[in-house]
Amino acid sequence: MEGSPNAQESIRVLVVEQHAIVREGVCTLLQREPDIRVVGSVGSGEEAIELLEETRPNVVLMGVGLPGVGSIEATRKLRVNNPDVSVLAFTLFADDQYVLGMLDAGAAGYLFKQSVVDDLVLAIRTVSNGQCFLDPAATKAVIESLRERRERFAPGDGLTDREKDVLRFIAQGYTSKEIGRKLRLSPKTVENYRARILKKLQARNCSEAISSALRQRIIQPVSYP
């Protein structure tokens, strides 16, 4: 399928979409662009992998939710064997699982099918130049993922000032009842703080939590009157 008479300078696009009507519509739209050439269109990840060597695309427009070899696995395999090929995820799904899964698999961009034609063309041109394109609607998932990873690798940063106060008293051997009196909290509330501290510090018990907190300098041993 030719989208430009000057194929040598065109962006070669392989369209992978399980729904034939959507696939044909996308191909028709792309063929109108003078700098884009649709070199193939298939309905599954297996077909995309098989056709890749023959079509030699610059960009694979990958529909999300493919049958058989899923979009994430297909993207991962394509990228491993063809690192110069850019994959642009194209989907109806705003689910964080799909957004992060495709990006982790090596997709260079993520675009929703609700986007206008101009956005699709811009996204293809952007990823073909080795850059990334992220639909604004997918930004929230990426930001939340970065926050979670930051807390995972620097968990102490997630402790609130109150949790640090509780942890300081725990480090000095005070019971939940004693900590509650000092901080004017109920013993049950203190226990809830203990549970959250262990979770955030990924500790199995208070000893591990104290050791981790001291090592990371989240708290310092302090004497209280």
Determine what percent of the chain falls in helix, strand and coil, rounding each to the nearest 5.
55, 15, 30
Separation of alpha carbons 148 and 142, rounded Å: 10
Residue 161 is assigned to a structural domain of this protein:
yes
pLDDT of residue 141: 64
- Amino acid in the structure at residue 187: P
CATH code, domain with 104: 3.40.50.2300
pLDDT of residue 225: 44
Pair (129, 35) in one structural domain:
yes
Q: What is the pTM of this model?
A: 0.62
DSSP per-residue codes, 45-68? HHHHHHHHHHH--SEEEEESS-SS
Q: Helix or strand or coil: residue 90?
A: strand
Per residue of the chain (225 residues), give pLDDT as tens: 444 444 457 999 999 999 999 999 999 999 999 999 999 999 998 999 999 989 999 999 999 888 777 889 999 998 888 889 999 998 876 666 778 788 888 899 888 877 778 889 999 999 999 888 888 777 666 666 655 555 555 545 578 888 888 988 888 888 999 998 888 888 888 999 999 898 888 888 888 888 888 877 787 755 444
Pair (88, 118) in one structural domain:
yes
Q: Name the residue among 58, 116, 54, 45 with its Cα closest to residue 85.
A: 58
Whether the CB-CB separation of 75 and 83 falls below 8 Å is answered with: no
Residue 225 is assigned to a structural domain of this protein:
no
Q: Domain ends where: 148, 177, 207?
A: 148
Pair (125, 15) in one structural domain:
yes
Pair (35, 90) in one structural domain:
yes
Residue 32 is assigned to a structural domain of this protein:
yes
pLDDT of residue 17: 92
Pair (86, 114) in one structural domain:
yes
Pair (77, 177) in one structural domain:
no
Residue 222 is assigned to a structural domain of this protein:
no
Pair (36, 123) in one structural domain:
yes
The range of the structural domain enclosing residue 182 comes to 155-215
Separation of alpha carbons 118 and 174, rounded Å: 63
Two tokens, residue 106? 């090596």
Q: Domain ends where: 91, 118, 148?
A: 148
Pair (138, 98) in one structural domain:
yes
Cross-strand bridge partners of residue 111: 90
pLDDT of residue 148: 59
**Cβ burial, residue 84 (10 Å; 0-12/13-18/19+):** exposed
How many domains does one find in the chain? Answer: 2
Two tokens, residue 196? 């959250």
Residue 182 is assigned to a structural domain of this protein:
yes
Q: Domain ends where: 99, 124, 148?
A: 148
